[in-house]
Amino acid sequence: MPGLTIGDTIPDLDVDTTHGHFRIHDYVNGGWAIIFSHPGDFTPVCTTELGKIASNAEEFERRGVKLLGLSCDDLQSHREWIKDIEAYTVLSFSLSLTSLLCGYPIVADPKREVLKELNMVDPDEKDSTGAHIPSRALHIIGPDKKVKLSFLYPATTGRNVDEVLRVVDALQKSAAHPVATPANWKSGEPVAISPSGYQTADLPSKKGYLRFTNV
């Protein structure tokens, strides 16, 4: 992903959201955050994604992760769209309607200025006016306000929210301990380490470099 990428500090932008006006650094405020963009309001894939994220709001909160959505429409459009998202979420995930999206704000960006600063514009896809459309991008931001992981999907492909939660667990584990997480790792499974106090996989090379421990 060109431009803003892993290791970069997220720009401290002023944003207008469904929860008011604030700066991104103030919103992160020394914790973990996820910023995720959407091609547009009242679009099918985006509606399912925001609904799925809303249904997992408690899981993100349990991990200390703040959520910040972003779409290139205005606040009034966002507020009307939220009604559809809530209705869809109630039907699809058997949840009660308790203002599901009040837990996280959605940025209004009709001029697409925030999207460009956050590197969330599709380099290939354009709308009917010839303008580049927003990509289906997602940045995971650490307490130091740096990008720890980025996903970039085409507009036609919805994100896997379970995978987002999994990589949050992996990033937080590695941030807290000098470990790495192997392929398909899930919370509670062994992790790879380099110091002593581990189990070594018996490999043909006998080099003893693949080590695991429970943290």
Catalytic residue of the set 46, 53, 165, 179? 46
Question: What gap in Å lies between CA 189 and CA 172, rounded to an integer?
Answer: 14
The domain segmentation of the chain, as residue ranges, is 8-158
DSSP state of 98: S
Over the stretch 142-198, which tens digit does the pLDDT of each residue have? 999 999 999 999 888 999 999 999 999 999 999 998 889 999 999 999 998 866 667
Q: Regarding the domain with residue range 8-158, which homologous superfamily does it belong to in the CATH classification?
A: Glutaredoxin (3.40.30.10)
Consecutive sets of 10 residues in the chain, 215 residues long: mean pLDDT of each? 83 96 97 95 93 91 96 94 88 59 83 92 79 88 98 90 98 92 95 76 92 76
CA angle at residue 86 from 163 to 115, to 5 degrees?
A: 60
Among 163, 213, 210, residue whose Cα is nearest residue 188: 213
72 an active-site residue?
no
